[in-house]
Amino acid sequence: MTPSVKLTTRTTPDVPEDLERLLQAHLPYSLPVLRRLQHAKYKDGMPPNARAVVISSGDVLGGDQLASARFTAAYVDYGGGPDTQMWLFSTLEEVEQPSDADKAEYRLQIEELVRELVKLGREYGKPTAYPGGLLLGSLHTAVRNVLIDLGRAAPRATGFYDKWLFQAKGFPENDAPLPDGMRWDTASLDDCRIVVSRTDIPRVAETLFRLQNLIIRIEDGTPIAWAFLGFDGSLCSLHCEEPYRRRGLAKALGAKLMRTGCGPYATDGWASADVAASNAGSRGMCKSLHGEQHWEVSWMMLDITEDGLND
């Protein structure tokens, strides 16, 4: 970073329109943070202890050079959890071969973001769901490496996932007909409790109930397949009960849910899913919907204590 460029920090309890425009100019890499902020802005509202934070080289909000802006942005909810509490995007993710100057600039931005998060945690004044930490989700490996180098992030056992991207034009225009005796529906809270019981990923039924979702029921009302769109707009918890597999139900679910999408605010046509390399079934479904595998992501525990990583 040249000495003439100074870092600017903007922290808000809402989602400024110029931040939304800025993130839209950096699709698809900015998609998870953009969708999480849009969900807060247009659907649920920002939780009382959530903040949008932007660290930039110069003041990029309100400017007209959106595509060339260099910044790091985050959504963070200190009162959230045990589900993902934070999403982060840095324009570092767009740089294929960062120079030493690039690396130094983004390291300073991310370090300043951590400093701001520590300060906000101090102001929050209560233990978070993970004391001393925040669960940071769908994190690009380039940014993950910076946080590890700063001594601020601890890897989790869940490992790495591939970010698959879809565009609305790749989805079937019409819903696939369901077999006789099956019907579309949305999930009740009791259905969400069943979903939680079928996965090893920590989920909260009440949180799932707030998400855009779609299920398939049989005649007696039993749910036999379901899918959800996470707060960041990603396809998640896609599942089909064993006796009903190999009938194309998962593909039909994924296509219908992602086509109807997150709502009228998501007009850019992008959708995503985070899929483990070992999950052959989900990878096959993504390919069948014309999805493309892009970058690598993971979930990490971000240390927001004053002194660094906990022992």
Q: Count the Cβ atoms, other than its own, within 10 Å of residue 202.
A: 12
- SS3 track for 115-147: HHHHHHHHHHCCCCCECCEEEEEEEEHHHHHHH
pTM, rounded to two decimals: 0.92
**The pLDDT of residue 306:** 87
**The pLDDT of residue 146:** 97
**The pLDDT of residue 5:** 65
- CATH 1.10.150.120 for domain 167-294, yes or no, is no
Crossing angle for the helix pair 100-124 and 141-149, to the nearest 10 degrees: 70
Instruction: Domain 7-162+296-303: give its CATH architecture.
Output: 3-Layer(aba) Sandwich (3.40)
Domain ranges in the chain with CATH number 3.40.630.30: 167-294
DSSP-assigned states of every residue in 246-263:
SSSHHHHHHHHHHHH-S-
**The pLDDT of residue 1:** 45
**The pLDDT of residue 64:** 80
Smallest CA-to-CA distance from 287 within 166, 163, 161, 138 is with: 166
Q: Specify burial of residue 100 (Cβ count, 10 A radius: 0-12, 13-18, 19+).
A: exposed
Q: Specify burial of residue 20 (Cβ count, 10 A radius: 0-12, 13-18, 19+).
A: middle
**The pLDDT of residue 308:** 59
Q: What is the dihedral of CA 63, 12, 73, 25, to 10 degrees?
A: -40
Q: Say which residues have a Cβ less than 8 Å from residue 116's Cβ, sequence separation at least 6.
A: 9, 11, 53, 55
The counts of H helices and E strands in the chain are 8, 12
pLDDT in tens, the chain (311 residues): 444 568 999 999 999 999 999 999 999 999 999 999 999 999 989 999 999 999 999 888 877 889 999 999 999 999 998 899 999 999 999 999 999 999 999 999 999 999 999 999 999 999 999 999 999 999 999 999 999 999 999 877 778 999 999 998 888 777 778 999 999 999 999 999 999 998 877 788 999 999 999 999 999 999 999 999 999 999 999 999 999 999 999 999 999 999 887 778 888 999 999 999 999 989 999 999 999 999 999 999 999 998 754 44
